[in-house]
Structure 1
Amino acid sequence: MNTMYFTEEHELFRKSLQDFLKKEVVPHIDKWEETGTIERFIWKKFGDMGFFGINYPEAYGGLDLDLFYTVIFLEELQKINSCGFAAAMWAHAYLAMTHLNKEGDEAIKQKYLVPSISGDKIGCLCISEPSAGSDVAAMRTTAIKNGDTYVLNGSKTFITNGVYSDYLVVSAKTSQEESHKAISIFVVDRNTPGISATKLNKLGWRASDTAEIAFDNVVIPASQLMGEEGKGFPYIMQHFALERLIMGVNAHARAEYALEYAQQYMSERTAFGKTIDKFQALRHTFADLYSDMILCKTFNYAVTYRLNKGEYVVKEATISKLKSTKMADEVIYQCLQFLGGYGYMEDYPLARLLRDSRLGPIGGGTSEILKEIIAKMVLDKKDYKPAT
C-alpha cells in the first residue's frame, strides 16, 4: 500500500523527521504537557529543518513538496504522545499559514508567511466564537471600515496557539448583512492595542495554548484585509477540506500508535501461563480494531492523492474526519483496556492519548455537523464550490 503513494525520498524524510522528534521534542514533552507552554526554541528548530515550509512555494522559503510529505509530518507528530504539541505545529502550518499563502498579497506574504516558514513567527486561525462554532455564518465579530483602517470588535474561542502566537488570522463581518456574504478575513499583529487572550483549561491537548480572544476597538490597516472583502466564507469553506483531512490523518496515525503500543504490551504481559496476545477474545478484538484503522488509513491516503492533484474533495475529506476520529476513539479506548490497570496510569501513554483523542469528533466541525454536510451533498445534491 505504501509504495502506491510513498517514494524512497518520502521514507528518507520520515526517518529524518523521526530522528529529529526523538532528539529535539520528546525529551521536553512531559514538561510542556505540565506547563501548557511550548518553549519558543522548538518553533525555530522546526523552521530551520524546513518542516513548516513543506507545501509552500520556494519563493517564500518553502520546499514546494507534495501532500504525502505533509501526511508523514502529521503521522509522526501523532506518535510522540502529545496531540497538543502536534496541534500547535499543524495549526500554525496548515490553518493560519494556508490563508496567508492563498489570500495574502505579496506584502502580507513577505511580512508573515516568510517568517512563519522560518519559525520566527507563530500564527493562529480565529474563526469559532462563543456563540458561533460550527455555524460559521452566525459569527458576531465585526470589522467596520473607517477610512483606511478597519475597527475590529468581538471575540473568538477555542483558538489553538491563541495565547503565544505573533499574529492572528481573523474572520469578521464587514457589513451588517445577516449573511455569509458579509464575512472577510484579516491578518492582525498580536501587539495591536485592544487584543486580549485568556487561556482555556482543557481535558486534553494540555501542551497547546488554547484561548478565548477578545477584540476591543482594535484598529488595523485596510492593507491587512486578505483577498476580497465579503469573500471570507468561501475562503474558509474551501480550506476546510484540508483541515478535515488533516484531522482524519491525525486520527488514523494515533490509532496506529495505540495499536503498536498495545501489541508490544500484549506480547510481554503474561496471565495464566501465557502472554495475553494468545487469548482469543483479545486477539479477535485486536484484529477488528486493526482492520478499522487500516480501512481509514487507506481511505485517507486515497483522498490525499486526489487533493494533491487539485481535486475539490470536500465530501471525501468530511467523511475522512467523521469516520477516522470515531475509529480512533474506539481503538484507543480498547487499547487502554488491553493494558488493564496500567492503562489507567499516567506513567503509560494510553491515558493521555485517550484524553487527547476525544477532541477529534469535536474540533474542526463536530461529527453531527459533518453528518449533515454529507447528507446535504448526497441526499439534497448540494454542490459546494471553491472560492473563485
Structure 2
Amino acid sequence: MDTAYFNDTHEQARQTARKFIATHVSPYIEDWEEAGEFPRELYTLAGEAGLLGAGYPESLGGHSEGDIFLKVALSEELMRSTSGGLVAGLGSIDIGLPPVVKWARPDVRDAIAPAVLRGEKIIALAVTEPGGGSDVASLKTRAVRDGDEYVVNGAKTFITSGHRADYYTVAVRTGSEGHGGISLLLIDRDTPGFTRGRKLRKMGWWASDTAELFFEDCRVPANRLIGAENAGFIAIMTNFLSERLMLAIMGYMTAEIALETSIRYCRQREAFGRSISGFQVTRHKLVEMATQVDIAREYTYRCAALMQAGKNPIKQVAMAKNFAAQVCEDVTREAIQLHGGMGYMREAMVERLHRDGKLLSIGGGTTEIMKELISKQMGL
C-alpha cells in the first residue's frame, strides 16, 4: 500500500473489490465478453458490496463522500477484471449520477439516487451526438419549454449503458448557440418520444452496453431540469474532470496488467534453449514498459491529490489522461509483440487489453481535444 496516498480504509475497500471481482466476475468474464454484455444483477451485487456508493453522500445511501483516493483504489481493483467494458458499464453511475446529486431538485434527487446507488436502477450520461463527437459546445439536441414541460428533439450516440439504463442525464440546447445555451435534463427510459436504437458493436469494451438514443417530441417535466437553465456546460465540464481521472486510471491499470502478464509469459516461454526473459532485449523492453506504467500511475496520483485538496487541476488531469492513454497503447502493443503469435489470439488476455485500451485516447475528450484544452490552460 502506498501510504503517501492510501490509508487502511482504502486497503479494506481494495480487499472488498478484490473479493467481488474474484467471486462474481473473473469466472465469467470471458463468456460476458463474447456475449457483449454482463448480467444486470451485477449492479445490485456491486451495490450490496458498497462499490457503487463510494464518494456519494450518506444521506442518499452512499459513503466516504469526497474521498478521491477511495475511488482510485476501487477503480484500480475493478480493472483487475481485465475488462474495460465491464468497468465502464458499472462506472456509468459516476458520470450520470453526479450532476443529479449536485444540482437536481432535492425531491428528484432523493427519488432517484438511492436506488441507483443500491444498483437497483442504472443511470447513463448522454452528451455525445452523431455529428459532434468531442465538440460538446456545438450539440444540436434541442429542448423547448412548453408550459411545465420541455419538448426534446435530437439524437445521441456512443452512450455507455445506453440500452439498459433506467435514467439518462441528457445534455440539451435550451438557449442560443455555443456553450452558454446548454442545459441538462433527467429523462426516464419510458418517457414517450424517447427510443433506444441498435446496440453498437465496438472494437473493444465488448462487455459494455453502448447505444444510440433518439428523442422525437419527447416531453420531459420541467422539474427534471438539472441545475439552472443554460448552465449545463459548467456541470458537464465539472463532470469531465473526474471522468478523465478515471480514464487515466484505466490507462495505467490496463498497461500494468499487460506488463504483469508479459513478465509471467516471458519467464515461462522458451526459445533457443532458454526462457525469453533471459534475452537482454526482452528484459530491456519489460523495463521500459514498467517505467512508463510507474510514471503514469504516480502522475495520476498527483492529480488525484490536487483534486482531494479542493483544487481544479484541469490541465494536469488532461495531461494525465493523454499520457496514460499513450502508455496503455504502447505497453499493450509491446505485450502482444512479446507474446508473439499467441498475443494475436483472442484467448490471450493481452489481445483484449490492447483493443480495450484504444478507447482511452478517444473517450472523455480525444487526445487532440485534450491538447487544445491544455494549451488554453497554458495561455497559448
Please indicate, yes or no, whether the TM-score normalized by the shorter chain is above 0.5: yes
Could you say which residue in structure 2 is the equivalent of 1:50? Answer: 50
Could you say which residue in structure 2 is the equivalent of 1:179? Answer: 178
Q: Does the CA-based 8 Å contact 1:153-1:218 persist in structure 2?
A: yes
Could you say which residue in structure 1 is the equivalent of 2:62? Answer: 62
Could you say which residue in structure 1 is the equivalent of 2:326? Answer: 326
Q: What is the alpha-carbon distance in structure 2 between the residues aligned to residue 303 and residue 349 of structure 1?
A: 29
Q: What is the alpha-carbon distance in structure 1 between the residues aligned to residue 312 and residue 147 of structure 2?
A: 37
Could you say which residue in structure 2 is the equivalent of 1:81? Answer: 82
Q: What is the alpha-carbon distance in structure 2 between the residues aligned to residue 347 and residue 38 of structure 1?
A: 18
Could you say which residue in structure 2 is the equivalent of 1:265? Answer: 265
Q: What is the alpha-carbon distance in structure 1 between the residues aligned to residue 162 and residue 31 of structure 2?
A: 20
Report the alpha carbon displacement of residue 195 of structure 1 after superposing the two structures with TM: 1.3
> What TM-score, normalized by structure 1, do the two folds share?
0.95
Could you say which residue in structure 2 is the equivalent of 1:225? Answer: 225
Q: Does the CA-based 8 Å contact 2:241-2:317 persist in structure 1?
A: yes
Could you say which residue in structure 2 is the equivalent of 1:383? Answer: none
Q: What is the alpha-carbon distance in structure 2 between the residues aligned to residue 257 and residue 104 of structure 1?
A: 39
- How do 1:128-207 residues align onto structure 2 when only pairs under 5 Å count? 128-175=128-175, 177-198=176-197, 199-207=199-207
Report the alpha carbon displacement of residue 354 of structure 1 after superposing the two structures with TM: 0.9
Could you say which residue in structure 1 is the equivalent of 2:276? Answer: 276
Task: Kindly provide the CA deviation profile for residues 354-377 of structure 1, in whole angstroms up to 9, marking residues without a partner as x.
Answer: 111111101111101111111111
Q: Does the CA-based 8 Å contact 1:172-1:185 persist in structure 2?
A: yes
Task: Kindly provide the CA deviation profile for residues 8-30 of structure 1, in whole angstroms up to 9, marking residues without a partner as x.
Answer: 22122212211111101122212
Q: What is the alpha-carbon distance in structure 1 between the residues aligned to residue 142 and residue 299 of structure 2?
A: 39
Q: What is the alpha-carbon distance in structure 2 between the residues aligned to residue 342 and residue 56 of structure 1?
A: 43
Amino acid in structure 2 at the alignment position of 1:357? G
Q: What is the alpha-carbon distance in structure 2 between the residues aligned to residue 32 and residue 216 of structure 1?
A: 33
Q: What is the alpha-carbon distance in structure 1 between the residues aligned to residue 35 and residue 294 of structure 2?
A: 35
Q: Does the CA-based 8 Å contact 1:247-1:321 persist in structure 2?
A: yes
SS at 2:125's partner residue?
A: strand
Q: What is the alpha-carbon distance in structure 1 between the residues aligned to residue 322 and residue 141 of structure 2?
A: 28
Q: Does the CA-based 8 Å contact 1:132-1:138 persist in structure 2?
A: yes
Moved more, 160-169 or 266-275: 266-275
Could you say which residue in structure 1 is the equivalent of 2:360? Answer: 360
Q: Does the CA-based 8 Å contact 1:75-1:254 persist in structure 2?
A: no
Q: What is the alpha-carbon distance in structure 2 between the residues aligned to residue 60 and residue 165 of structure 1?
A: 19
Task: Kindly provide the CA deviation profile for residues 330-375 of structure 1, in whole angstroms up to 9, marking residues without a partner as x.
Answer: 0000011111111111111011111111111011111011111111
Q: Does the CA-based 8 Å contact 2:124-2:165 persist in structure 1?
A: yes
Could you say which residue in structure 1 is the equivalent of 2:349? Answer: 349
Could you say which residue in structure 1 is the equivalent of 2:372? Answer: 372
Q: What is the alpha-carbon distance in structure 2 between the residues aligned to residue 110 and residue 36 of structure 1?
A: 33
Amino acid in structure 1 at the alignment position of 2:313? V
Task: Kindly provide the CA deviation profile for residues 226-275 of structure 1, in whole angstroms up to 9, marking residues without a partner as x.
Answer: 10001001111122111111100110111111111111111111112221
SS at 1:151's partner residue?
A: strand
Q: Does the CA-based 8 Å contact 1:245-1:300 persist in structure 2?
A: yes
Q: What is the alpha-carbon distance in structure 2 between the residues aligned to residue 210 and residue 29 of structure 1?
A: 18
Q: Does the CA-based 8 Å contact 1:240-1:314 persist in structure 2?
A: no
Q: What is the alpha-carbon distance in structure 2 between the residues aligned to residue 12 and residue 230 of structure 1?
A: 42
Q: Does the CA-based 8 Å contact 1:254-1:328 persist in structure 2?
A: yes
Could you say which residue in structure 2 is the equivalent of 1:210? Answer: 210
Q: Does the CA-based 8 Å contact 1:79-1:257 persist in structure 2?
A: yes
Amino acid in structure 2 at the alignment position of 1:107? D
Report the alpha carbon displacement of residue 4 of structure 1 after superposing the two structures with TM: 0.4
Give unmatched runs, 5+ long, in structure 2. Answer: none
Q: What is the alpha-carbon distance in structure 2 between the residues aligned to residue 322 and residue 80 of structure 1?
A: 23
Moved more, 210-219 or 68-77: 68-77
Task: State the 4+ residue runs in structure 1 displaced beyond 3 angstroms.
Answer: none
SS at 1:257's partner residue?
A: helix
Amino acid in structure 2 at the alignment position of 1:79? R
SS at 1:358's partner residue?
A: helix
SS at 1:19's partner residue?
A: helix
Q: Does the CA-based 8 Å contact 2:79-2:87 persist in structure 1?
A: yes
Q: What is the alpha-carbon distance in structure 2 between the residues aligned to residue 347 and residue 341 of structure 1?
A: 11
Q: Does the CA-based 8 Å contact 1:32-1:207 persist in structure 2?
A: yes
Report the alpha carbon displacement of residue 179 of structure 1 after superposing the two structures with TM: 2.2
Could you say which residue in structure 1 is the equivalent of 2:101? Answer: 101
> What TM-score, normalized by structure 2, do the two folds share?
0.97
SS at 1:363's partner residue?
A: coil
Q: Does the CA-based 8 Å contact 2:21-2:80 persist in structure 1?
A: no
Q: Does the CA-based 8 Å contact 1:248-1:320 persist in structure 2?
A: yes
Aligned-residue sequence identity (percent) comes to 37
Could you say which residue in structure 1 is the equivalent of 2:91? Answer: 90
Moved more, 72-81 or 83-92: 72-81
SS at 1:212's partner residue?
A: strand
Could you say which residue in structure 1 is the equivalent of 2:304? Answer: 304
Q: Does the CA-based 8 Å contact 1:152-1:218 persist in structure 2?
A: yes
Q: Does the CA-based 8 Å contact 2:16-2:49 persist in structure 1?
A: no
